[in-house]
């Protein structure tokens, strides 16, 4: 905790100096304990200059996820929310589900620098090297009906697009139901999983994998052609810790608005803004069955609306969509 508070003081003073004495009296601890914490931060990859007459100055921060650095940059501290950053885990979604099952109080978030069994939709492998990308899962215990889960993912998708657009100079889009894309290349994917009791969701895990700082050379060739990272789009590394702090703020707020039903007013407008399928000729494949037609947006339970060549409109709840050439 002291570490987070010291980091907050150092970040607030950046690029200037802050005196050890001032931090110590603000936090109610001794100057020696500040000095000890500064040494610990140095050992974790922070560069801190120290001049007796001026104090300390932060001159370099670690690029990899650092919990103190994320917490120090949270704008609002939400009651009861906790966060864990792991070096390695099988899947952050699985870890969050295990912790929920073990009774950990929600909301909480699990982040990992690397996943050994990262999963995507349809049980696909999610490439999860320790390359500066984001592997995150948020755990909730909502009181909502299972039918609302699809809209939850879509709502989270527009939330992520809004955030991402603050970090890159290119407009993001969502490919129904869970891909974050830029001009046809995938930058991220969402995986929402829930345990359901009778007619209510018992608990829910919202997983987000986002290519933040990976280089094109980090991916296998075939994947590299279809994938893109935020740093590639921004032309410079993205501050992963600042991004993560902003993500937590947005996801928690979006969750509250969804749980209260407040999202309804803005959802349709935001979905239309980011929906990359609207008006395109698409093919949706679900359990081996194909449906072709023009995508018309989504209905109020989050199903993709497709108008076939006979003019009939179908609401499709699941499946994989491809855009037809020239469509
Ligand atoms: C998809 O596009 O199919 C969804 C990909 C979701 C990947 C994320 S990474 C963090 C979380 N943990 C997982 O195992 N999967 C999700």
Residue from 110, 120, 211 whose mutation best tests the ligand 1 pocket (most atoms within 8 A of CB): 120
> Where does residue 103 fall: left (phi above 0), alpha (psi -120 to 50 degrees), or beta otherwise?
left
- DSSP category for residue 125: B
Q: What sign has the CA pseudo-torsion 164, 202, 75, 260?
A: positive
- Residues 167-212: tens digit of each pLDDT: 999 999 999 999 999 999 999 999 999 999 888 899 999 999 999 9
- Distance CA(234)–CA(91), nearest Å, equals 28
Backbone angles phi, psi at 40, to 5 degrees: -65, -40
- Residues 232-255: tens digit of each pLDDT: 999 999 999 999 999 999 999 999
Q: Whose CA is nearest to atom 11 of ligand 1?
A: 207
Beta bridge partners of 318: none
Residue 293 alpha carbon to ligand 1 centre in Å: 28
Mean pLDDT, the chain, integer: 94
Query: pTM here?
Result: 0.95
Backbone angles phi, psi at 50, to 5 degrees: -135, 125
Residue 118 CB less than 6 A away from ligand 1: yes
Q: Whose CA is nearest to atom 9 of ligand 1?
A: 209
- Residues 272-300: tens digit of each pLDDT: 999 999 999 999 999 999 999 999 999 98
Residue 110 CB less than 6 A away from ligand 1: no
Q: What is the mean pLDDT of residues 217-246?
A: 91
In this structure, what token pair is assigned to residue 213? 């700082």
Residue 189 CB less than 6 A away from ligand 1: yes
């Amino acid at each position: 905790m002291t570490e987070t508070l010291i980091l907050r003081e150092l970040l607030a003073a950046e690029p200037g100096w802050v005196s050890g004495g001032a931090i110590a009296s603000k936090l109610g601890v001794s100057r020696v304990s500040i000095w000890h914490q500064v040494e610990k931060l140095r050992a974790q990859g922070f560069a801190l200059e120290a001049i007796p007459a001026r104090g300390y100055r932060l001159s370099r921060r670690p690029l990899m996820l650092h919990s103190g650095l994320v917490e120090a940059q949270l704008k609002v501290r939400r009651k009861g929310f906790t966060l864990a950053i792991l070096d390695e885990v099988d899947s952050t979604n699985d870890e969050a589900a295990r912790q929920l099952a073990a009774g950990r109080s929600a909301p909480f978030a699990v982040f990992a620098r690397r996943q050994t069994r990262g999963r995507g939709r349809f049980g696909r492998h999610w490439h999860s090297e320790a390359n500066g990308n984001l592997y995150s899962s948020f755990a909730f215990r909502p009181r909502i009906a299972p039918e609302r889960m699809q809209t939850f993912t879509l709502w989270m998708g527009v939330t992520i697009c809004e955030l991402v657009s603050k970090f890159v100079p290119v407009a993001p889009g969502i490919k129904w139901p869970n891909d974050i894309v830029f001009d046809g290349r995938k930058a991220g994917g969402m995986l929402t999983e829930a345990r359901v009791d009778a007619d209510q969701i018992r608990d829910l895990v919202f997983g987000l994998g986002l290519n933040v700082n990976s280089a094109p050379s980090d991916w296998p060739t075939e994947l590299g052609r279809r994938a893109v990272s935020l740093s590639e789009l921004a032309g410079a590394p993205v501050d992963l810790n600042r991004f993560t702090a902003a993500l937590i703020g947005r996801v928690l707020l979006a969750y509250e608005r969804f749980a209260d039903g407040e999202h309804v007013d803005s959802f349709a407008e935001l979905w239309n803004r980011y929906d990359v399928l609207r008006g395109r000729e698409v093919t949706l494949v679900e359990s081996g069955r194909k449906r072709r037609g023009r995508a018309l947006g989504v209905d109020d339970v989050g199903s993709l609306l497709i108008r076939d060549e006979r003019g009939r409109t179908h609401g499709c709840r699941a499946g994989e969509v491809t855009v037809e050439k020239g469509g």
